Homo-oligomer: A and B are copies of this chain.
Amino acid sequence: MEIAAPVSPTPRTVEDIFKDFSNRRNALVRALTVDVDEFFGYCDPEKENLCLYGYSNGSWEVALPAEEVPPEMPEPALGINFARDGMHRRDWLTLVAVHSDSWLLSVAFFFGARLNANERYGLGPIRSGVSRVSLCSLYSEALAQCPLVLRWLFER
């Protein structure tokens, strides 16, 4: 497995948020493509509620949801394993990809909210407004290049 350069568990700059996003995305792309048979095998419907996690070190994992509630950060879709055997494999993978895309965005935006808070405390609201704009550009770029689901749509 490729291990990416480490990113802070709570990225606090636009660049670190984007790096975190990219590493998580790369991990999820690998789970749904190169490692797809392994991923499929982990999602046993007989097991409890499972989630697909992409981590900022570039690794992925099928695991139980966070025990802490409310969770420290947004959680991916719960119980993906229960749908595995009731759908065509490709449709199920598309479903997981759509939820994973959605989760990637929610995580990036969650960190973005914290970034603005910190900036405001340190640098005041005007600077905060500026970084909100750059954060928007970041998300636009991420959205344009990101969707895991496009891989499935264009391969159909």
Interface residues in chain A, defined as those with a beta carbon under 8 Å from any beta carbon in chain B: 49, 69-71, 74-75, 77-80, 82-83, 95, 98-99, 101-103, 105-107, 109-110, 113-114, 116-117, 120, 125, 128, 132-133, 135-137, 139-140, 143-144, 147, 149-150, 153-154
Contacts and interface: CB of A to CB of B under 8 A. Distances in A.
Contacts of A105: 105-106, 109
A116 B147 contact: yes
A144 B140 contact: no
Say how many copies of this protein the assembly contains: 2
A34 to B, nearest CB: 22
Given A102-B113, A106-B106, 8 more contacts: A69-B78, A71-B78, A71-B79, A98-B113, A102-B107, A113-B147, A128-B153, A139-B140
Contact of A75 (B78, B125, B135, B153): B78
